């Protein structure tokens, strides 16, 4: 074999090894993310001052890992509906709240949270917004004084959405 063919064969092996490393890195990072997300979902949702709603939980599957989550919010002793923000988004993503009640959104992720309404024009929806981003442990409280469906998202992660329906 000529030196040129040997060098070309060496490059092919080098590229093949690099591709294998990239694939392994992606698989490893997905396993780590799934484990971290399930931990974030199950922590910091219930504190001493909260009581659990008696709704039926659902099972959410991410990859090969299943996590059971409550579809209804936890209600604090003050009557606020607790919504947890995780690296997967808002839990629960849909909440029904009586008029005059509040939501208490807690950032339980390592990402920044900035609650913004989908409707940035019409009142009262435009008022359902957070003034600044908050990190892990940060909160956003809002009391609803008008009926309607308040669609919102995290401005720092636009695919994470939720809806609060006020009746």
The total domain count for the chain is 1
Residue 75 has pLDDT above 70, yes or no: yes
Write down the pLDDT at residue 103. 96
Quick one: average pLDDT of 47-76? 52
Q: Cβ–Cβ contacts within 10 Å for residue 129, how many?
A: 15
Domain that holds residue 126: 42-166
* Residue 161: inside a domain: yes
Tell me: the pLDDT tens digits for 99-149? 999 999 999 999 999 999 999 999 999 999 999 999 999 999 999 999 999
- Asked whether residue 104 is domain-assigned, the answer is yes
In a domain? residue 48: yes
Judge whether 20 lies within some domain. Answer: no
- Which pLDDT score, from 0 to 100, does residue 125 have? 94
- Express each pLDDT in 82-99 by its tens digit: 999 999 999 999 999 999
pLDDT in tens, 12-49: 777 777 677 676 666 666 554 444 443 333 333 333 33
Res 57: pLDDT: 45
Residue 22 lies in a domain: no
CATH code at 148? 2.60.40.420
Look at 95 and 65; give whichever has higher pLDDT.
95
Dist. CA 81–CA 51, nearest whole Å: 10
């Amino acid at each position: 074999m000529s030196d040129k063919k040997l060098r070309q064969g060496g490059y092919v092996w080098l590229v093949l090894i690099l591709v294998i490393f990239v694939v392994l890195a992606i698989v490893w990072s997905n396993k780590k993310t799934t484990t971290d997300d399930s931990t974030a979902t199950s922590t910091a949702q219930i504190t001493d001052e909260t009581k659990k709603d008696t709704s039926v939980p659902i099972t959410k599957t991410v990859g090969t890992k299943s996590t059971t989550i409550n579809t209804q919010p936890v209600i604090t002793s003050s009557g606020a509906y607790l919504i947890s923000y995780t690296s997967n988004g808002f839990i629960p993503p849909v909440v029904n709240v009586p008029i005059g009640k509040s939501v208490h959104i807690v950032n339980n992720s390592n990402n920044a949270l900035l609650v913004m309404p989908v409707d940035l024009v019409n009142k009262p929806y435009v008022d359902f917004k957070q003034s600044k981003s908050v990190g892990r442990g940060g909160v956003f409280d809002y009391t609803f004084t008008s009926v309607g469906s308040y669609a919102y998202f995290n401005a720092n992660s636009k695919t994470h959405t939720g809806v609060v329906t006020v009746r």
